[in-house]
Amino acid sequence: MKLLLKGGRVINPETKFDQVADVLIEDGKVAAIGENLTADGAEVYDASGKVVTPGLIDMHVHFREPGQEAKEDFLSGSSAAVAGGYTTVCTMPNARPAVDDAETVRSLKKRAEDVGKCHIEIIGAVTKNREGKELAELGDMIEAGAVAFSDDGNFDPKAKVLLSAFDYLHTFDKVIINHDEEPSLVEDGVMNEGHNSAMLGMKGRPRVAEDIAVARDILLAEYAGARVHVAHMSTCGATDLVRMAKRKGIRVTAEATPQHMTMTDDCVKLFDSSTKINPPLREKKDNEALIEGLKDGTIDAIVTDHSPHAQEDKDKEYPFAPSGFPGLETAVGVLLTDLVEPGKVDLPTIIEKMTLGPAKILGLDRGRLAEGARADVTVIDPKLVWTVDDKKFYTRGSHSPFVGRELHGKPVLTIVDGKVVMKDGKVY
């Protein structure tokens, strides 16, 4: 199959290429990039006025397999991914049972191959059942294809166990992705601790819980000479800690979500659980710190932390609802509307953090748009105005705080291994 994308703004973060050009895709690879390209028998797609980028990568999603398929599964989750412009996603291990052995990794990889609309990579648990007590089968899971490790949703309180994991994984150059909140400081907390939590009468989760945990993990990684990745960073303090650690040469990377960069705890309402996430929405100064970290390289990746729940679970009063909401289908629109359009962050930076950045962290040969590269490609219409409608979601989750919002910018074409899997909102 030949596909010729004509006249789009082509962005390749790897080489800082950013200009109007044509892209020829043939036999699952990028065959050529240049001006006035032609190809006999090629299907031609008019990309004028649109942005052509490497396929988007989300290194932090929850597809709920095994055991929680009522919330999401690999088919519905990957459909949501390609609808949102993503060609690769990495699913977290906090399933039931936890993804903590090689057999489970292999079965999930087979499942991904059978039903996935995009590439689905598997992240294994650091400890057995994510309990923080005993290391999981790390080496065997690497052999089975796990790309990284995390006890996401849990903070491993025993420094000795985490240090052992760092020592072991250092040999394989694999990264640990940590959910950083000191448990003793966030017990029963449901939103950011501050003025708004006091006014709403809800128990808070203080910033310092994240800052303490990030500081500890950085120090352990430095001691072991290992790699640590801070998941869904949300505070100005944690951002400063990561920035300082990078200056020292410590092997730390970090990610942030669209919601933590664009929303605050002013959005929290007692009878609307859609904004309940962990870590919680913070304050404006935290938004600003994360945005600055995005621009100066402190933050390496933008992720969605896509976390759908069944409606009967999420449709409860704020304190009793589970944390998380679906984000794959809204991420590009939110980022372009709230960060790019107001001039807070330029588009090439956003694209880099959604492609090359996560690819580098995970050691994936993706995230670039160049001749000979795998033809994972996303085309975005930056001027497309649309309203978020949960009834049109491909994900099984519907409780998004962005429902009803008018957004500017949306992926209109997703190509995986040279094959069109989404066009104008329709998933194939």
Containing 209, the helix (H) or strand (E) segment is: helix 207-224
Amino acid letter, residue 361: I
- Three-class DSSP labels, 88-112: EEEECCCCCCCCCCHHHHHHHHHHH
Distance between start and end Cα atoms, the chain: 16
**What DSSP string runs through 239-275?**
HHHHHHHHHTT--EEEEE-HHHHH--GGG-BTTBGGG
- Half-sphere exposure for 155 (CA within 13 Å, toward CB): 24
Tell the burial category of 100 from Cβ atoms under 10 Å away from its Cβ (0-12, 13-18, 19+).
buried
Catalytic-residue membership of 266: no
377/280 Cα distance (integer angstroms) = 32
Q: Any bridge partners for residue 163, and if so which?
A: none
Phi-psi region of 200 (alpha: psi -120 to 50; beta: other; left: phi over 0): alpha
Q: Which of 156, 211, 305, 381 is catalytic?
A: 305
Rg (alpha carbons) of the chain, rounded to whole number: 20
Hey, which residues are catalytic here? 305
